[in-house]
Amino acid sequence: MKTRPFKQVDVFTDLPYFGNPLAVVLDGGGLDDATMQRFAQWTNLSETTFVLPPTEPSADYRVRIFTPGGELPFAGHPTLGTCHAWLQAGGKPKRTDLIVQQCQVGLVNIRREGPRQAFAAPPLKRSAPGPVALAQVAGALGLKAQQILAAQLLDNGPVWLGLLLDSADTVLQLQPDHAALKKYDLKVGVAGAHQAQTAPLLIARANREARAFSGSTHAGRAETPTADFEVRAFAAPIGINEDPVTGSLNASLAQWLMAEGHAPDHYVVAQGTCLGRAGRVHLSRESAGGTSIVWVGGESVTCIAGTVTL
């Protein structure tokens, strides 16, 4: 065992303790899988990451991502939070325009966007869910068929059943049967627009605060940034009933919703409202070299800095 640099950061927020926490071990060298998994269980956070030297020449660092229940090939909030911690600890990117992270899903590009960082969404595989699975999940969520506007199985490393619901209000009112979702072995992400324009296939800016914080102030901030969509992520199969803010899910939701015309090329998501959080995820689609890239952005703030003995 040795002393290693450690940070705990809050991701998808500029206000400590209102986003999604992440534990980052900045030197994971020499740790075996069992030790990493045991520490991830001990932190009891949705994810814990371990930074390692890259094995790909173009990467700036390599990261392994663990939930309390197992390792993930990719996850969004650990990507942004680890990058934030690595830069803050003195990491020097090889390129001036991008930070390149290596993880099990491959190389992930990260860029600076003012106070935020944003990662390029990994390639998405998607397909229509089977009717039995869809009906089971709808029952576990207490949804009627007419409240589900569209559904897709989304795979960008993690696999989610994505549901587009008829409104943000429907999303916020869900009271899932988590035991049933765990039995069905499906992680479920739901999204609903705060306000639809009368023009087809476009989503308007709702201009309202996160419902849980309506009319309040946080550390002098007059109001929570506005959002176009409300998102919730239910992940009982990996031991997390509801994740506060989920980058990988929002990445795949954005790729799907933008491609199908359910969302514009730029929008903001609110997530964590029902958990007393105020997460904000910034999604944008750009064309480059004949292909489109979806960028998933958010702010990060360090809450704990020190060392851990591992």
Catalytic residue (choose from 47, 209, 230, 242): 47
Distance CA 307, CA 2 (A): 10
List CB contacts of 200: < 8 A, sequence separation 6 or more.
none
Query: Cα separations (Å) of 13 from 113, 130, 232, 283, 307?
Result: 14, 36, 16, 15, 24
Q: Which residues pair with 24 in a beta bridge?
A: 7, 49
Whether 47 is catalytic: yes
Distance CA 140, CA 136 (A): 6
Query: Cα separations (Å) of 181 from 31, 111, 202, 277?
Result: 33, 35, 31, 23
The residue length of the chain stands at 310
Q: Which residues are catalytic?
A: 47
